[in-house]
């Protein structure tokens, strides 16, 4: 009986640890996307070639979408 109780407690701690680890990973991903977004905006502002401007616009949009998705994931992980 004690073995089952300790196993249940360990599983409960594991779930809390997993949720905390997932939240930390999301926060790291958000920080990475913020850097990607800054880089994409920098490229957009510094580029004069039309094709590279288009590419930078896509990079900004992709980073914004990813950022929004990560924020939603973070909110839902609470």
CA distance 60 to 63: 5
Stretch 5-23: mean pLDDT, rounded? 69
Mean of pLDDT over the chain: 86
CA distance 33 to 70: 9
Stretch 48-70: mean pLDDT, rounded? 96
Give how far Cα 25 sits from Cα of 18, 20, 29, 35, Å: 10, 9, 6, 16
Is residue 60 within 8 A of residue 41, CB to CB? The reply is: yes
CA distance 26 to 30: 6
The string of pLDDT tens digits covering residues 28-42 is: 999 999 999 999 999
């Amino acid at each position: 009986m004690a073995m089952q109780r300790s196993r249940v407690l360990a599983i409960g701690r594991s779930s809390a640890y997993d949720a905390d680890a997932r939240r930390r990973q999301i926060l790291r991903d958000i920080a990475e996307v913020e850097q990607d977004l800054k880089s994409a905006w920098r490229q957009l502002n510094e580029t004069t070639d039309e094709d590279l401007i288009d590419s930078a616009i896509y990079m900004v949009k992709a980073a914004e979408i990813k950022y929004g998705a990560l924020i939603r994931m973070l909110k839902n992980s609470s």
